Amino acid sequence: MSCDISVFLETTTLLRILNISTNLKMISRRTSLDKEVYIEVFGPDPPCARCHAVWKNVEKAASTLKQEGVEVMMKRLDIMSKDAISKYGVLMSPALALNGTVKTMGRIPDASEVERLIREAAK
């Protein structure tokens, strides 16, 4: 009978250790991969073709990085709005800001460049 209890206790202890180990791995994976990057695309309202191209490139890069656990929050802003001007100053359209920092202005970054910028911002 005491042998059965000791086997039960050993099994229970091993299961608890495995459960704790699994939970720690899940937590560390979640914290190392789950990053949020806030992207703002500036342009006129309604958006011009160049601003639309930037938006599409951001969407493409975001979908690629989502598989790696990077969450991208996208927002369009009117380049002539008081909020945009007061926060960033005068910008050339299209402009792209990541986490509150303008990264490109007056040109269309391709999807690979946007992906690189998002990776840097997610670090």
User: Residue 46 carries which DSSP code?
Assistant: S
Does residue 26 share a domain with residue 3?
yes
What does the angle CA 101 – CA 36 – CA 67 come to, to the nearest 5 degrees?
125
Supply the pLDDT for residue 63: 94
CA 98 to each of CA 22, 25, 38, 101: distance values in angstroms, whole numbers, following the listed order? 34, 30, 6, 5
Does residue 117 share a domain with residue 57?
yes
With a CB cutoff of 8 Å and minimum separation 6, the contacts of 118 are 37, 39, 61, 62, 65, 70, 72, 98
Does residue 118 share a domain with residue 101?
yes
How many independent structural domains does the chain possess? Answer: 2
Residue numbers of the domain that contains 49: 34-122
- pLDDT tens for 24-74 read 555 544 444 468 999 999 999 998 999 999 999 999 999 999 988 999 999
Whether the full predicted model's pTM is greater than 0.75, yes or no, is no
Does residue 24 share a domain with residue 1?
yes
Does residue 45 share a domain with residue 26?
no
Does residue 61 share a domain with residue 7?
no
Does residue 82 share a domain with residue 22?
no
Q: In CATH, what number is assigned to the domain containing residue 57? A: 3.40.30.10
Does residue 80 share a domain with residue 21?
no
